[in-house]
A and B are shown apart, each in its own frame.
Chain A
């Protein structure tokens, strides 16, 4: 399985949790931090991202960028 990576553009995240529910690898969670708007941005808390972008596809705020390693 390819190795993936995400970056959360924390300033846009509204902690709605849709990405958390969409991630097939269950590697996302709502963090304990708060952003400027008072929301707790989502974070990847464990290894295992496959770069499938299901999180980004679900995000209403385009707050996730997804990258994938390629041979």
Chain B
């Protein structure tokens, strides 16, 4: 398939279909409405089904049910909707059900606004729902990456029997770029009948039970230890990060998603002027790409975290670097993104210290 010009939300939706997702549950919220709209039209063409839920509470629970069958399922929403989904995400993680959730983040808190934001960083990487669970969170910064990470999300969800979130933002969702949406090689993967519901006969009459309830303390601790072992395996194997012009950098920007696009331009402009600035771009927000942070060259003196929020990733950068560098922050909120110029100014200021 050739590259075609697509809107981010639609590219994500088509990527899901090409990844073999046949079932989608959703509820309208700006700026992601094109995903359910696209799915409602497209899924019947591929023998799939779209269900409009009565709320995000219902859509995440439908996703849980759909995922419990072992087939590829997806929902999408934006920040306030993700808040409502938090309980369901915790249950999905606790019950070890594969499911893909797209979050086209907008500015908050509360109803906030419909313009882009990254202020769900803590919510999606540190929990949101109750209990010791982790969700894999993928943060694309180009539309091609939206496509590729959406397809990867289905593989990761099934590999680890875990919820996986594609955390895009309103810019990513609404912009247009040329993308190539290829059929994923795993699109026809059959459900794992050893645990998926609906295969009792195939299991020779053995029932499958998906639950997170363990009233006795020891079994619940065992369950938690099993989950923690899995999360460690994910930390070990699935960190993704891009290091951009990091060699010999003196100031290193840490940014993801749309902010990373802006920072990339700032890095290029500053490098053209001979200024030693680079970027480290987490692609997996969870697991946080700590290994990549260990490769920061000795030339780096300061780190600038840039986000469309009030500094939610700063602590992760400090932890990932063992607090070895002074970390500054620059961010905009309200649906405003930092400008290339603003980032350049911040870097220049740090370079001059």
Direct contact of A and B (CB under 8 A): no
Q: Which residues of B contact A (CB under 8 A)?
A: none
Q: Which residues of A contact B (CB under 8 A)?
A: none
